[in-house]
Structure 1
Amino acid sequence: METQEIHRGRLIDHLQLVVRDLAASQAFYTAVFDVLKIPMGGTGDSYFWADELFVSTADSVAASGELTGRHHLAFQAQDEAMVDAFYKAALAAGGKGNGAPGYREYHPGYYAAFVLDPDGNNIEAVFHGEAQRSAPSVKVTF
């Protein structure tokens, strides 16, 4: 697995999910990334990746033969419509509903949807309302 860029100064460098059925996971994440406008970074016989998320089989070199446990990943959406599209695409691609699109009480304007991916990971798309629209993007470099 080789990425094209190294980004310094992020909280998370990368995440790896080790899955049972790579084809099912790739279909699910391809559909989700398409509606969230996240380009697929690359694929191989035992993995695929987008941005800093790597998904592989247990027999890939990086996995050491073990599946990862259940995780919660939240992807940013550009607006409520994108959250709705995420939910619909995720269900159509084999996901299981874990919280329909709607406002949550985490903070004002928090609009999110939750689905379980083919391995049971809790995958979320979230839009933070007007606060997200007006917040500047921050790029940290070292």
Structure 2
Amino acid sequence: MIDHFGINSADFERATKFYDAVLSVLDYERQMDVGQAVGYGTQGKPDFWVEDASGREVGAPVHFAFTAPSAESVQAFYHAALAFGVEPLHEPRIFSEYHPNYYGAFVRDPDGNNVEAVFHGGAPAPTG
């Protein structure tokens, strides 16, 4: 339904470094860089944009989720975000209130947005 969306960042350099790190583990990468904005996505199509809003109001924080290709990539997203030093909101786990196989993790990005990675195929297989 949504073709693409974007957020404004008060610290564009920090935000793009954050998204470079956390989106790469979800198989998303930079598709376009037009100077004041960077578009992330796959196969040449950006569906998520970060725009430089230095010196402007960035607006109220929002919540959005990225589709993860596996439960392990949800974990990798969470650990990449924590390594970047952002606030953890919910560590990777099943959120059965959404559905029995909803495996997600939530963090705050550098601008305070609630960013989630979600895999709809359940938790990772137990190891050991």
Say yes or no: TM over 0.5: yes
- Where does residue 103 of structure 2 map in the other structure? 111
Q: Give distance in 2, aligned partners of 1:100 and 1:66.
A: 30
- Where does residue 27 of structure 2 map in the other structure? 37
Q: Give distance in 2, aligned partners of 1:38 and 1:100.
A: 21
Aligned residues between the structures: 116
1:21-45 CA-to-partner distances (Å, cap 9, x unmatched) read 0011011100011100112112243
Long gaps (5+) in structure 2:
41-45, 123-128
**RMSD, aligned α-carbons:** 1.7
TM-score by length of 1: 0.75
Rg larger for: 1
Q: How far 1:94 moved relative to its partner?
A: 3.2
- Runs of 4 or more off by more than 4 Å in structure 1? none
User: What is the one-letter code of the residue matched to 2:38?
Assistant: F
User: What is the one-letter code of the residue matched to 1:115?
Assistant: V
TM-score by length of 2: 0.83
Long gaps (5+) in structure 1:
1-10, 60-64, 131-142
Q: Give distance in 2, aligned partners of 1:41 and 1:93.
A: 22
Q: 1:96 aligned to 2:87? A: yes
Bigger strand fraction = 2
Q: 1:76 aligned to 2:71? A: no
Tell me the secondary structure at the aligned position of residue 101 of structure 2: coil
Task: Provide the identity percentage.
Answer: 41
